Amino acid sequence: MLFRKIKDKLFGSIIILLALISGVPLVLILFFLTKEGISNLSFDFLINLPKPIGETGGGISNAIIGTFILIIISSVIAIPIGIMLAVFLSEFRKHKFAYYVRMGVDILQGTPSIVVGMIAYLWVVKQMGNFSALSGGVALAIMMLPVIITSTEETLKLVPNSFKESAYALGVPYYATILRVILPAALTGMVTGVMLSIARVAGETAPLLFTAFGSPFMNLDITKPISSVPQIIFTYSTSPYVELHALAWTASFLLIVFILIMNISAKLLAKRWKLNL
């Protein structure tokens, strides 16, 4: 009897110990990034362009602008398509295509980001003849789609059926019921989904390596190569120069703060509206 109790207690403690250890890397990563990254963070870092090796200072303004441009391009592509597919999935649940669309979403969710980059390269870069922000945006849009579709579909499922029935009873046509009644009711959930998808792609590097490619200059033209924060972290951190490592730490710190804010506020929003995403 005693032996069984000891075994039980021992097992419980091991579970707690291992689970606690699993949370340690997060603390370590955040601590390390903050320690190394925050000292360099200044206004100049945000507004200056990168300087040549050897000169001190310099910033990553082109990468910050680049990341925002890439996020805007991918959102413009992915949000309408994602929402339409989610409406299709929640409205035509038994439709024969719904099964295949769901399967497609699962496939896309599991596709490695490097393969997504390869597809964007073969479809966009090869056709245009050069690396471009547009192709990077396409790659990121492909990565955003599954997140937007699943979260929007989950939210649409939560909209009470009585909303739709009331609209029908008032003689509202189908398209207006969806666009003016159902979708506004699900707005919070959709915003949450979009925020999560932005948080997912903001740090993606692999799909940008051979699409957006990176550029040392400030670039606002979406048909030209563009720099981005994760890519600058990659180039700087794998370079042999200590000054560049310091810049990469600060860039990582900025990136992680942005992603954490997006993730946490999406979670708070979802919690407030009792969504389960």
Cβ atoms of residues 30 and 218 within 8 Å:
no
> Cβ 204 to another protein, closest distance in Å?
7
Between 95 and 157, CB nearer to another protein:
95
DSSP state of 277: -
DSSP state of 240: S
Count the Cβ atoms, other than its own, within 10 Å of residue 80: 11
C-alpha 254/C-alpha 268 separation (Å) is: 21
> Cβ 53 to another protein, closest distance in Å?
19
> Cβ 13 to another protein, closest distance in Å?
11
> Cβ 88 to another protein, closest distance in Å?
4
Between 101 and 220, CB nearer to another protein:
101
CA angle 252/256/261 to nearest 5° reads: 150
Between 220 and 260, CB nearer to another protein:
260
Between 174 and 220, CB nearer to another protein:
174
Residue for token pair 């509202």: 172
Terminus-to-terminus CA distance in the chain, angstroms? 43
Cβ atoms of residues 95 and 180 within 8 Å:
no
Between 174 and 241, CB nearer to another protein:
174
C-alpha 157/C-alpha 36 separation (Å) is: 45
> Cβ 24 to another protein, closest distance in Å?
9
Between 73 and 201, CB nearer to another protein:
201
> Cβ 74 to another protein, closest distance in Å?
15
> Cβ 262 to another protein, closest distance in Å?
8
C-alpha 129/C-alpha 30 separation (Å) is: 40
Between 39 and 109, CB nearer to another protein:
109
Q: Report helix, strand or coil for 253.
A: helix
C-alpha 230/C-alpha 251 separation (Å) is: 8
